[in-house]
Structure 1
């Protein structure tokens, strides 16, 4: 009589990484539970809900995983040991390089993950908006710090400069998904940094 082997143990981390890739590629709303369960190792509905609670809770974990891995390119915006100009420039260049890397889905999960969601996903939309706002305020903080330490003139339009760099940062995602090359975006960073008029 053939012996039945032990069932394969569920690898939660591998499943989470697979979900990240799928959400990153498709976005929250278009990604179905059946697709998630398939890429996460063919787990049963019972195992899925026991491990992650719900699709929304899974996505929240995915966002945290993203922010601790590829999404770390924006962490430099919160670094006050780096000069403000260098912090912003490094963020833009690192983001362009990461988002055009073909080893994973193109673009940024934080920007595009909930771009096509309906009202049933309000919490997901707000989650990503909150992350983007934190990055935006970190940009503003670096520009304010630059004025305070004399790296930018006292009459600098802080809000205008923040919006310019912030719009460029989130726009990288669309450009990357539309096929922009890392080298092209890097040259664009050269141009946008020329708007940094030092005191």
Structure 2
């Protein structure tokens, strides 16, 4: 009869958070099973790890679900159609910058930094959820621009995908800035600057809510 691992005695929810911080800090490929076992629940055995999570890949999938339902919700405003389109994008950028610079977890964004290159067959298999999350954010920004065109705030000559890419590029770039220790105030000031790209595209009137969100959440 196969020997069973000792019963799991750690808090599984806490363990998911601990694993999330490891993947967030080091990336998927660089986070080893040894690191995971040593840092989850104060240290667990291999049998306990596999009994609890099945595999490193399965654990990462749980981590991504946790991240997207917590820290990753800073992009929710992209999909709040009751908000003016410009405000939806500005809120996302400011909230994301704030989250990525917070001191109680690794800096940057797990979706942006967790797997920048798929080096192994295993990492290739788990790269799609990260790409899907980034694609969803881009689609949200495109939808915001399309709403602004439909309402007359932006002219029909604006290409939604092009303007959305400006803001999406900035959003992804925040991760590198935060990881490099650039202060939140500097990044927040940069959000004010990048939003002038939207304002410059407006039809002969100030953008709705222009400059009103600086320093929010």
Superposition TM-score, scaled by structure 1 size? 0.92
1:37-186 equivalence runs, <5 A: 37-41=37-41, 42-120=43-121, 121-186=123-188
In structure 1, the partner of 2:9 is 9
Say which SS state the counterpart of residue 88 (structure 1) adopts: helix
Q: Deviations over 1:142-186 (max 9, x none)?
A: 111111112211211212101101100101001111111110011
CA-CA distance at 1:119 after TM superposition:
3.1
Worse-matched range after superposition: 114-123 or 30-39: 114-123
Distance in 2 (CA, whole Å) between partners of 1:148 and 1:12 is 47
Distance in 2 (CA, whole Å) between partners of 1:29 and 1:117 is 8
Distance in 2 (CA, whole Å) between partners of 1:55 and 1:8 is 17
In structure 1, the partner of 2:18 is 18
In structure 1, the partner of 2:215 is none
Distance in 2 (CA, whole Å) between partners of 1:132 and 1:109 is 11
Q: Deviations over 1:89-133 (max 9, x none)?
A: 000001111111122100000000012440321022222111101
Distance in 1 (CA, whole Å) between partners of 2:130 and 2:56 is 15
Q: Deviations over 1:43-83 (max 9, x none)?
A: 22222112211101110110111111111101111111111
Question: Is the 2:77–2:92 contact (alpha carbons within 8 Å) kept by the matching residues of 1?
Answer: yes
Q: How many residues align?
A: 193
Say which SS state the counterpart of residue 28 (structure 2) adopts: coil
Question: Is the 2:8–2:48 contact (alpha carbons within 8 Å) kept by the matching residues of 1?
Answer: no
In structure 1, the partner of 2:207 is none
Question: Is the 1:146–1:152 contact (alpha carbons within 8 Å) kept by the matching residues of 2?
Answer: yes
Distance in 2 (CA, whole Å) between partners of 1:165 and 1:116 is 22
Structure 1: state its 5+ residue gaps.
1-6
Distance in 1 (CA, whole Å) between partners of 2:188 and 2:74 is 14
Question: Is the 1:73–1:94 contact (alpha carbons within 8 Å) kept by the matching residues of 2?
Answer: yes
Distance in 1 (CA, whole Å) between partners of 2:8 and 2:55 is 23
Question: Is the 1:99–1:173 contact (alpha carbons within 8 Å) kept by the matching residues of 2?
Answer: yes
Say which SS state the counterpart of residue 95 (structure 1) adopts: helix
List, as ranges, runs of 4+ consecutive aligned residues in structure 1 with deviation greater than 4 Å: none
Structure 2: state its 5+ residue gaps.
1-6, 204-217
